[in-house]
A and B are shown apart, each in its own frame.
Chain A
């Protein structure tokens, strides 16, 4: 199957001629009034019934249609005097410039005309490239405009000046060319000359750009609204049209009874102003027309232009029914596949159910409940908002008519029932940057006002709870529900198509908790174990070890209860892969490696490498070996176990995490002093001119480089000293080393020193003349004058350091601001380029026309979601797994 049913072959733009405007028109509007005292539209007024109806009960005088049937019809206004159309000022200027003021011919010689005619005649105005045509016509117009004597009649020409926005005058005079004169000049241009301007005389005569007749848009385009007070309020366009008709009338009267020229000109200018602002109320050079309230009117151009305009807001932007939006909050006891929906939203959102012989009794039961049913405990139960008859009529269910309508329904009716537990809905957070930004969840109706979900899905949505809001969509069709269940559900999205690993997993406290539960394999009594496991299914019980006649449960055995039988994995834990130096558990294979055999954690610490999004090896392997459902079950249990454990054990962090002994502070201080000495020595050497430049660098660069590396060394060394006193008992360190939050670098900034601040990879050097801040001597390039922060966050920064830190911090903010907008636009362009490409069943990539894009998807036909982090297979895992069979 190829080809599309309809294709636009061409679009033609032309000018409306006055005759055509009259032909389009169903009524000549002559009075500025709208409604009579009874509220009935006045004939030949702006709300004349020939232009359509907006009031129920009335019929259109043109087509006889009722409110929703009549599409609306144009009317027209005969302007007393012609006015310039603002949208065509540039073109009018071009014609006036390039044609003779007296005979109207284009100011090209006959020879030129003869020689240029073939090349412009070759151009097809209907199918040719407008840019090519413009290049040619610009050449002719430029040539003709320069001529100051007409080659045809010999008349002297003068330059045309455009006084923005719509007034023309000849250079050297102060007299303007009236629109009437402009029109006359344009009329004189012969059809044959128009081709040189890129105009097709059949569809566009230049004088049509000076208006004598104004089309009046249908009433449907400018409906009046009735306020609650019964007062009628007219659309901005109608207001504008009223102005135009009034002034046009006064102008006609003044002209006909021979008023002074000055008065006529004033009125004419006023008419020009109103017509101009009717088209575009933001025309530069004239004040925008305003309401009595002071609000600027929204006229034609304002309706279309910009973010709030018809194109970007209404045509490209879609709004949908059956959706809701509210603040989100966490709920650790929901499954990753669920979403908590507040009652208020659930009552409003409906699912259409077609009544058939099997469900009719059930539907009757639902309708009988009415709109606001509750069970005996006051809990939410599903009601019905509407029933729809087979002919499409909607009947609103109220508590009064519920019983009656329950009896009325029959096979073929549709019942719009409220949300129910277990319904599948789509849940979304903007910006929707990847497909996991919109996933299928099953509904849980909860008290409260917020949407709630498991913390493990924060990562794919990139959500946090500092006020984020999310959208929820109720699916209306059976096919869509099936798709959502089979491919959009959260569990089906655990694996990221970006890197072939899990993107859903434990975060923050989950990681901390499992780390504490498994590191050094702590021992718990039976009672403690029961508390820890209280949130899991009661049949999950760890193996006990009896020591001295007492039953004990070990952390790793507790964790093992949530692992599926048959799981075999071995991987390095985060704890031992963090720093490049040797970690204190390196030689203890029991902690370096995590080893899981047949769903039992033999040894190792569970941390970021095991359960986190992006890295979580356990989630990854469970998904591959046991499928999506088992993976989701593991994540659900894992988050519950983690929350259960950490609430039982307790965990908190604070400033005292960073207390180090006086001796350590002294040692760090000494390090800093030494480093500063070395830096000073470097500067002295440099000033003596004895510094050896590094290969390929200037002496100045070399100095900066050396200083930077010295500063880096002190920071690292002081960090090492600080962290040597901060062991795995310290909560902050637990979080950093387990991968729950922050890094050891952050910790050394708090306890050690903050270190050198930089902008664009170099030391700070800008600000004041030859110095960073007025607190230093000019030309000082010492450490503390160029952004070295020797304090720690614990001790606090001194004022100059604080300034430096802010300067360095700002770079990060600017970077992210610039990066997000740029990468966002790049991604948007890619999405638009790729949106209708399709991988077919032979893995060929084709577009909608059938053109081949790739012979095999990605040239190798591999789905990155199913790849082992981009590789075809994970050999280590396969060998380990096979070896345990």
Chain B
């Protein structure tokens, strides 16, 4: 059986890797330090799925998550790849 890509499932929101230029803009826009952003584990299936395409994702990379929303159409969320909190 072919391995299923979790990102193709309709309940899993879109995950995108944020480039370094974009990162600066996002942090400026949110007026926040990176450490205060929500975290995502490097072992998260969505990160693993992204790594299968883009290669190893460094800790500290910001992941842009686009979710479907009944009131907004879609809503954007950011998470930083970080392992420290997840033991």
A693 at the interface (CB under 8 A from B): no
Stretch at the interface among B16-24, B48-56, B64-72: B64-72
Tell me which residues across on chain A come within 8 A of B36, comparing CB atoms: 846, 849-852
Distance between Cα atoms of A872 and B71 in the complex (Å): 8
Distance between Cα atoms of A855 and B72 in the complex (Å): 13
B1 at the interface (CB under 8 A from A): no
Distance between Cα atoms of A854 and B37 in the complex (Å): 9
Tell me which residues across on chain A come within 8 A of B30, comparing CB atoms: 844, 852, 855
Total A-B residue contacts, Cβ distance less than 8 Å: 32
The answer to whether A851 touches B67 (Cβ under 8 A) is no
Tell me which residues across on chain B come within 8 A of A851, comparing CB atoms: 36-38
Give the residues from 30 to 81 in chain B that come closer than 8 angstroms, CB to CB, to chain A: 30, 32, 36-38, 67, 69, 71-72, 75-78
Q: 1/0 per position for A845-885, CB-CB distance to B under 8 A?
A: 01001111111100110100000000010000000000000
Distance between Cα atoms of A856 and B69 in the complex (Å): 12
Question: Which of B37, B71, B78 is the most central at the interface, judged by chain A CB atoms within 10 Å of its CB?
Answer: B71
Give the residues from 535 to 586 in chain A that come closer than 8 angstroms, CB to CB, to chain B: none
Identity of the chain A residue whose Cβ is nearest the Cβ of B69 in the assembled complex: A859
Interface size bucket, A side?
Answer: 10 to 19
A860 to chain B, nearest CB (A): 4
Identity of the chain A residue whose Cβ is nearest the Cβ of B33 in the assembled complex: A850
Identity of the chain A residue whose Cβ is nearest the Cβ of B71 in the assembled complex: A860
Distance between Cα atoms of A855 and B38 in the complex (Å): 10
Distance between Cα atoms of A698 and B78 in the complex (Å): 50
The answer to whether A859 touches B67 (Cβ under 8 A) is yes
Tell me which residues across on chain A come within 8 A of B38, comparing CB atoms: 851-853
B8 to chain A, nearest CB (A): 23
Tell me which residues across on chain B come within 8 A of A846, comparing CB atoms: 36
Tell me which residues across on chain B come within 8 A of A859, comparing CB atoms: 67, 69, 72, 75, 77
The answer to whether A852 touches B69 (Cβ under 8 A) is no
| Contact with B78, one of A129, A855, A862, A872 (Cβ below 8 angstroms) | A855
Give the residues from 449 to 472 in chain A that come closer than 8 angstroms, CB to CB, to chain B: none
Tell me which residues across on chain B come within 8 A of A854, comparing CB atoms: 77
Question: Which of A844, A854, A855, A856 is the most central at the interface, judged by chain B CB atoms within 10 Å of its CB?
Answer: A855
A145 to chain B, nearest CB (A): 29
The answer to whether B69 touches A855 (Cβ under 8 A) is no
Distance between Cα atoms of A516 and B71 in the complex (Å): 40
Distance between Cα atoms of A212 and B30 in the complex (Å): 62
B66 to chain A, nearest CB (A): 11
The answer to whether B37 touches A852 (Cβ under 8 A) is yes
B27 to chain A, nearest CB (A): 11
Distance between Cα atoms of A860 and B69 in the complex (Å): 8
The answer to whether A860 touches B75 (Cβ under 8 A) is yes
Distance between Cα atoms of A853 and B77 in the complex (Å): 10
Distance between Cα atoms of A854 and B32 in the complex (Å): 13
B48 to chain A, nearest CB (A): 24
Tell me which residues across on chain B come within 8 A of A849, comparing CB atoms: 36
The answer to whether B71 touches A856 (Cβ under 8 A) is no
Tell me which residues across on chain B come within 8 A of A872, comparing CB atoms: 71
Question: Which of A852, A860, A872 is the most central at the interface, judged by chain B CB atoms within 10 Å of its CB?
Answer: A852
Pick the 8 closest A-B CB pairs, nearest first. A859-B75, A860-B71, A860-B72, A851-B36, A850-B36, A859-B69, A852-B36, A852-B37
A-B contact pairs, 26 of them (CB 8 A): A129-B87, A844-B30, A846-B36, A849-B36, A850-B36, A851-B36, A851-B37, A851-B38, A852-B30, A852-B36, A852-B37, A852-B38, A855-B30, A855-B76, A855-B77, A855-B78, A859-B67, A859-B69, A859-B72, A859-B75, A859-B77, A860-B71, A860-B72, A860-B75, A862-B71, A872-B71
Given pairs A844-B30, A850-B36, A862-B71, 10 additional interface contacts (CB within 8 A): A129-B87, A846-B36, A852-B30, A852-B32, A852-B37, A853-B38, A859-B69, A859-B77, A860-B69, A860-B75
